[in-house]
Amino acid sequence: MGFLLWLVFSSAYASWGVNMTPGATEVSRTVFDLHMTIFWICVVIGVIVFGAMFWSMLVHRRSTGQQPAHFHESTTVEILWTVVPLVILVLMAIPATKTLIEIYDSSESELDIQITGYQWKWHYKYLGEDVEFFSNLTTPKDQINNKATKGEHYLLEVDEPLVVPVGTKVRFLITAADVIHSWWVPALAVKKDAIPGFINESWTRIDEPGLYRGQCTELCGKDHGFMPIVVEAKSKEDYAVWLAERKQLAMAEKELTSKEWTLDELMVRGEKAYNTACVACHQASGEGLPPMFPSLKGSAIATGPAAGHIGIVVNGKPGTSMAAFGKQLSEVDIAAIITYERNAWGNAVGDMVTPKDILAFKQAQE
C-alpha cells in the first residue's frame, strides 16, 4: 500500500488541487467569485452551528454531572432562524441573478461555431466559413491500457482542437447527432448540454492565447470518458492565418474525390480513417464487441456485395449505434474505410471502392 501511494503521489503530473480555478474569461472569474462567496458564507454558518454543537457535546454531558434543562420551544427563536437565513439567501441570489443574466446574453457575437456531439467525438463547424472538422481523442490505447507511460495531457488531448480568436465574442450553437452529450471547458465556465433535435446557445470571450481543456460531462455511452475538448485560443492575426489554411485544405480534400486511387493507397488511408472513426466500436481487430457492436471480420456485409456495404456506412442502421457516416466523413474517407474493411483482418474480397463510387451512390439516393 505504501509503495502504491508513493508510486502515484510521486507522479510528476499528480496534484493536490482542491479548488476551482478562476479561469480565462471575465465570466469564469465572476462565476469563481460567486463560488467563493457562497463557500465562505457556508463556512461561517458551519463554524457557528457546528461550534455550538461541539461546545454542547463537550460541556452538556451526563459525565460532567450536567442536569438536563426542560425548555422545548420558543416561537421567537424559530422566527429568528427562519428570517435570518432567508435574508442571507436573498443577498446571495442578487449577484447570482446578475451573473446568470450576463451568461444568457449571447447577442452581438462576432463568430458563430456549431458544435455537434457524436458518440464519442466532437464536430466543429465555423458557420459561414466553409470550415468544419471532427475532433478526436489522440491518447494512444497503450497508455490507457497501462502499457506505456501516460503523458501530461492523458485523455485530454485531441487531433484537431477548436481554434478561436482571443478578445472576440464567440457564440457556440450546441447540438448532438445521437445521444445527449455536454460540452464543458472549465476555464471558460461554459457547460451546455448537446441534445439531439435542440440547438443550445452559449458564448465566451477569451482574454489570453492558450490551450484550454475540458471533457464531455453527460454520460453518453461506452466512451463517455474518452471524448475530450481542447480549445486553442490564438491571437486574431494567427487565427486569420489558420482559417485561411483550413479553407485551402478543405478545397484540396474535395479534389481528392476525383483522383484515381490504387488499392494500396486506399488501404493505407483506410486504416488511418478506420482507426479514428470506427475503432471505438468495431475495435482495431475488426471483431467488435458483440452483440452491441458486431464483428466486421468475416461478416456478411463486409464480405458481401459492395453496394450493401456502402449503404450501411453511408446511411447507418437506424435503431442502433451505427451512425450515418455519409454526413460525417468525406467520400474519400468512406471509400478508403470500406476498402480497408473488405480487405483487412483476413477479409479478402479483393475489390476496391473508390470515392467516385461513393459520390455516385449518394447522388443516386438524391
Partner 1 sequence: MSAVIDHGHAGHDHHHGPAKGLMRWVLTTNHKDIGTMYLWFSFAMFLLGGSMAMVIRAELFQPGLQIVQPEFFNQMTTMHGLIMVFGAVMPAFVGLANWMIPLMIGAPDMALPRMNNFSFWLLPAAFSMLVSTLFMEGGGPNFGWTFYAPLSTTYAPESVTFFIFAIHLMGFSSIMGAINVVATILNLRAPGMTLMKMPLFVWTWLITAFLLIAVMPVLAGVVTMMLMDIHFGTSFFSAAGGGDPVLFQHVFWFFGHPEVYIMILPAFGAVSAIIPAFARKPLFGYTSMVYATASIAFLSFIVWAHHMFTVGIPLTGELFFMYATLLIAVPTGVKVFNWASTMWRGSMTFETPMLFAVAFVILFTIGGFSGLMLAIAPADFQYHDTYFVVAHFHYVLVPGAIFGIFASAYFWLPKWTGHMYDETLGKLHFWMSFIGMNMAFFPMHFVGLAGMPRRIPDYNMMFANFNMVSSIGAFMFGATQLLFLFIVIKCIRGGKAAPAKPWDGAEGLEWTIPSPAPYHTFQTPPDMSDEHEHRKGLAHD
- Please write down the long-range contacts of 300-305, taking CB distance under 8 Å and 24 or more positions apart: 302/341, 302/342, 302/347, 302/349, 303/342, 303/347, 303/349
What the block records as the C-alpha cell of 190 is 461554459
DSSP sequence for 292-361 = TB---TT-HHHHS-HHHHHHHHHH--TTSS---GGGTS-HHHHHHHHHHHHHSTT--------HHHHHHH
Question: Residue 153: enclosing H or E segment and its boundaries?
Answer: none
Residue number with CB closer to partner 1 (123 or 246): 123
Q: Which of 76, 146, 260, 363 binds partner 1 (CB under 8 A)?
A: 146
Is 182 near partner 1 (CB under 8 A)?
yes
Q: How far is the CB of 241 from partner 1 (least distance, A)?
A: 31
Q: Which of 22, 26, 29, 35 binds partner 1 (CB under 8 A)?
A: 35
Among 233, 319, 318, 338, CA closest to 277? 338
Binding mask 292-331 for partner 1 (x = CB under 8 A): x--------------------------xxx----------
Q: How far is the CB of 192 from partner 1 (least distance, A)?
A: 6
10 Å Cβ neighbour count for 207? Answer: 14
Among 303, 300, 284, 283, CA closest to 292? 283
Among 135, 143, 150, CA closest to 183? 135
The DSSP bridge pattern shows strands 190-194 and 200-204 to be unpaired
Q: Which of 3, 9, 260, 264 binds partner 1 (CB under 8 A)?
A: 9
Q: How far is the CB of 202 from partner 1 (least distance, A)?
A: 9
Q: Which of 3, 57, 260, 348 binds partner 1 (CB under 8 A)?
A: 57
Q: How far is the CB of 130 from partner 1 (least distance, A)?
A: 26
Q: Cβ neighbours of residue 246 under 8 Å, at least 6 residues apart?
A: 131, 133
| Helical ranges in 105-178 per DSSP H | 141-144
Is 16 near partner 1 (CB under 8 A)?
yes
Q: Which of 6, 24, 29, 96 binds partner 1 (CB under 8 A)?
A: 96
Is 47 near partner 1 (CB under 8 A)?
no
Q: Which of 114, 160, 169, 180 binds partner 1 (CB under 8 A)?
A: 180
Question: Within 185-244, which residues bind partner 1 (CB under 8 A)?
Answer: 186, 189-193, 195-198, 200-201, 214-226
Q: Which of 22, 134, 138, 156 binds partner 1 (CB under 8 A)?
A: 156
Question: Within 60-89, which residues bind partner 1 (CB under 8 A)?
Answer: 60-63, 66-74, 77-78, 81-82, 85-86, 89
Binding mask 117-136 for partner 1 (x = CB under 8 A): --x-----------------
DSSP reduced 3-state for 100: helix
Cα separation, 309 vs 324, in Å, equals: 12
Is 101 near partner 1 (CB under 8 A)?
yes
Q: How far is the CB of 6 from partner 1 (least distance, A)?
A: 11
Beta bridge partners, 158, equal: 137
Q: How far is the CB of 333 from partner 1 (least distance, A)?
A: 24
Sheet architecture: strand order including 228-234: 162-165, 228-234, 210-216, 181-185, 190-194
> How many residues in the shown chain lie near partner 1 by CB under 8 A?
105
Q: Which of 2, 94, 107, 145 binds partner 1 (CB under 8 A)?
A: 145
What the block records as the C-alpha cell of 189 is 465556465
Q: How far is the CB of 7 from partner 1 (least distance, A)?
A: 9
Residue number with CB closer to partner 1 (195 or 359): 195
Q: From 18-26, 299-307, 333-341, 347-355, give the range in contact with partner 1 by CB under 8 A.
A: 18-26
What the block records as the C-alpha cell of 298 is 468475416
